[in-house]
Amino acid sequence: THWLRSEWVAPRLVPQLKGAVARGTERDALPRICAEVLVFARGGAFRPLRAAALADPQRPLHLLADSVWAEACAFLKGTPHLFGSLAGTPAALHAAHTATVALQAKLEALLQTPAERHYFRCHPAGADLMRRFNLPIYFQLRVQEIAKQLE
């Protein structure tokens, strides 16, 4: 799957993701990136790989997780200013986290078996990406906002 990711998925997906970043502000780039990943996974460029992955359900290839999802996560991790622009703004962080979780759910819905869905949910690239959101800090900021309103 490394070859598929580097030679098939990355050359087709990464330019779309870069275009999504270029269209608009950094603060709202993550939802656009998520939308592009979903379009790619459902579209013609990935269709031959999806067909190959479905050919033998007894031997899952995990192409969606190991190629599209892993490449999308690598792109996001390699674009640190996306997360830097969210710092200190709970509403923007919430919107970005929600967009990412929604993308995960929509990609997961493309998978056929419980084993594939489990593999996708536990994929290291996704887990690492979710750690970038630093949710404990987000919740601290939200508690401070609520406490100010009560004072």
CB 138 within 8 A of CB 86: no
pLDDT at 88: 66
* Alpha carbon separation from 4 to 23, 49, 115 (Å, rounded): 28, 9, 21
Residue 82: which pLDDT band, with cuts at 50, 70 and 90?
Answer: confident
pTM of the shown model: 0.82
Q: Write the pLDDT tens digit of every residue in 31-44.
A: 899 999 999 999 98
Query: What's the whole-number mean pLDDT along residues 82-101?
Result: 76
Residue 86: which pLDDT band, with cuts at 50, 70 and 90?
Answer: low
Q: Write the pLDDT tens digit of every residue in 60-79.
A: 678 899 999 999 999 988 88
Which residue, among 48, 43, 21, has the nearest Cα to 32 in the 3D structure? 21
**20-29, 125-134, 139-148 — which is least confidently predicted?**
139-148
pLDDT at 54: 61
122, two tokens: 């536990």
pLDDT at 139: 66
Query: What's the whole-number mean pLDDT along residues 100-121?
Result: 92
| Separation of CA 14 from chain center | 13
pLDDT at 138: 64
What's the one-letter identity of residue 45?
Answer: A
pLDDT at 103: 95
Query: What's the whole-number mean pLDDT along residues 7-28?
Result: 89
SS (H, E, C) 113-149: CHHHHHHHHCCHHHHHHHHCCCHHHHHHHHHHHHHHH
Q: For 26, which DSSP code?
A: G
Report the alpha-carbon distance of residue 15 to residue 13 in Å, rounded. Answer: 6
Residue 53 predicted with pLDDT over 80: no
